[in-house]
Chains A and B, each alone.
Chain A
Amino acid sequence: MRPGHSHTSPRPQRTLGYTIIEVMIASTLGLMVLAAGYSFLFFTLRAMSGISAQSVMNQKGANALEFIESRARLATYMATSSSGNTLTLGFDDDPTRDTDGDAKTYDDRDHYEQFKFIGTSSTNVLACATNNLIYIPNTNSTYQRVLISGGVRNLPGFKVFSTTNSVITVVRFGIADPKTSDHYQAIDLQGSAVSLNRLWNTNVITIAP
């Protein structure tokens, strides 16, 4: 478009300004530029949203698994529910006192902690949108902390918690982002939580496959 065109051309006064064709072409081009800009921005923001969601998921999942393993390491008791959705750990609060009267001061169960998978047991992303993983620091208290809010799911064919020989708990879960607008974001974690404070008669276990 050349705005100065009307000053240099010898057109009659009544023809000054832009023709309807010029205006339409200019509008169309302007709209195309705007649409391209919008698409670029939309795609960029959506991709950035997905990247952020994936990063948060990685951090949350790794942190939750690490936390479960660190608590299990100090536990004197370990058990899972039949559904495999709850892991209960027992702790000795005072290693100098023998509260259970078995002549050992270090293997008591003075308080219990729980990790709970709450929601629908499924591997489907949408079905698991509201599933949480929570931590209860003391089962005698109602206080609980949400470790992962939303998107926690089972891995195919596995329970979230499965305990072997009261010593080792295999933890398997995934996190998936139910928001479909920013593509598919997910992570799956498979870990082992081992009690190093276990009884002598449970020492001999095999290396899990």
Chain B
Amino acid sequence: MRLGSQFSVRWEKAVTGSGKTAGGFTIVETVLAMSLTVLLCISTLGAILEMQFSSKRVADYTSAMAVAEAKVQDIRAVYYNPPNWPFTLSTVYVTNQNSISLNQAGTTFQIPGTVISKIDYQGSLGHLVTVTATFNPSRGRPVTATLQTVVNSYSGGQQ
């Protein structure tokens, strides 16, 4: 629909008085135009709100990833002396509780979660460590970060 050209034709008719019909837009046209404008505004606002939510979610993912990375570092710091715990011949699970997303007052963390570390024997390769940090926000899907590393006698800190 070419609104500009229609408008100019109507304007011309109205000014010159050459048209037989009255100038201006019909109620259908007006309602349609208004509906489109409102739809555009709502979708734009919705997109912006979603972007805001997403950027906060990225912050939660960054926090979750830091927690998972911290646990990986903790496990890497343990003396690698198999089959002593936690580097046994069977799979070992270590579960810890943690929370992220500090509130505005700076008093409490808003999203609780669990960090599960799986230490799996891989023969001569050593042990495969898989750390999964899962946090459950009140809105949206859970925030999950998983990191893996291999620990063996060649890992650092085994002087």
Residue of A nearest to B58 (CB): A58
Bound CA–CA A191/B23 (angstroms): 70
Knowing A7-B15, A207-B86, say if A188 contacts B94 (CB, 8 Å): no
Q: Most chain-A CB neighbours within 10 Å: which of B17, B62, B66, B96?
A: B66
Name A44's closest neighbour in chain B (CB-CB): B48
* A194 pairs with B48, CB closer than 8 A: no
Q: What 1/0 mask marks residues of chain B from 74 to 88 whose CB sits below 8 Å from any chain A CB? A: 111111000000100
Q: Are A54 and B58 in contact (CB under 8 A)?
A: yes
Q: Is A21 an interface residue (CB 8 A)?
A: no
Answer whether A190 and B66 are a contact pair too, CB < 8 Å, given A8-B17, A54-B59: yes
* Contact of B156 with A188 in the complex, beta carbons under 8 Å: no
Q: Is A122 in contact with B106, judged by CB distance below 8 angstroms?
A: yes
B74 pairs with A58, CB closer than 8 A: no
Residues of chain B contacted by A191 (CB below 8 angstroms) = 66-67, 69-70, 73
Mask, A179-209, CB within 8 Å of B = 1, is: 0000110111111111111111001111111
Q: How many residues of B contact A (CB 8 A)?
A: 54
Contact indicator per residue, chain A 29-50, by CB within 8 Å of chain B (1) or not (0): 0000000000010011001101
- Among residues 85 to 132 in chain A, which have CB atoms less than 8 Å away from a CB atom of chain B? 122-125
Task: Assess A194 versus B73: contact at CB under 8 Å? Given A156-B102, A203-B157.
Answer: yes
Give the chain B neighbours of A43 by CB distance below 8 A.
45, 48
Query: What's the minimum C-beta distance from B115 to chain A, rounded to whole angstroms?
Result: 10
A7-B15, A7-B17, A204-B79 given as contacts; is B49 within 8 A of A174 (CB)? no
In the assembled complex, the Cα of A23 lies from the Cα of B56 at a distance in Å of 47
Cβ of A2 under 8 Å from chain B: yes
Known contacts A189-B63, A205-B78, A209-B96, A55 near B102 by CB under 8 Å = no
A197 with B106: in contact, given A4-B11, A47-B52, A207-B78 (CB under 8 Å)? no
CB A195 to nearest CB in B, in angstroms, measures 7
**Shortest CB–CB separation between residue A132 and chain B, in angstroms?**
18
Given known pairs A2-B24, A73-B156, the reply for A61 and B11 (CB within 8 Å) is no
Contact with B along A50-88 (1 / 0, CB 8 A): 110011011001100100010001000000000000000
Contacts of A168 in B (CB 8 A): 73-74, 77
Question: Could you say which residues of chain B place their CB within 8 Å of the CB of A186?
Answer: 59, 102, 104
> Which chain B residues lie closer than 8 Å to A184 at the CB level?
104
Whether, in the assembled complex, A155 has its beta carbon less than 8 Å from a beta carbon of chain B, the answer is yes
Min distance, Cβ B39 to any Cβ of chain A, angstroms: 14
* A189 to B100 alpha-carbon distance, docked (Å): 8
User: Which A residues are CB-close (under 8 A) to B138?
Assistant: none
State A187–B55 Cα separation when bound (angstroms). Answer: 11
Whether A48 contacts B79 in the complex (CB less than 8 A), given A168-B74, A191-B70, A197-B156, comes out as no
| Interface residue? A160 (CB, 8 A) | no
Known: A168-B77, A174-B102, A193-B73. A3 touches B55 (CB 8 A): no
- A203's partner among B11, B41, B79 (CB-CB below 8 A) is B79
B156 and A196 form a contact (CB under 8 A): yes
Chain A: residues with CB nearer than 8 A to chain B? Answer: 2-5, 7-8, 40, 43-44, 47-48, 50-51, 54-55, 57-58, 61-62, 65, 69, 73, 122-125, 153-156, 167-168, 170, 174, 176, 183-184, 186-200, 203-209
Q: List 10 A-B contacts (CB under 8 A).
A: A2-B23, A5-B14, A40-B41, A47-B48, A58-B59, A65-B66, A73-B156, A156-B107, A194-B157, A204-B78
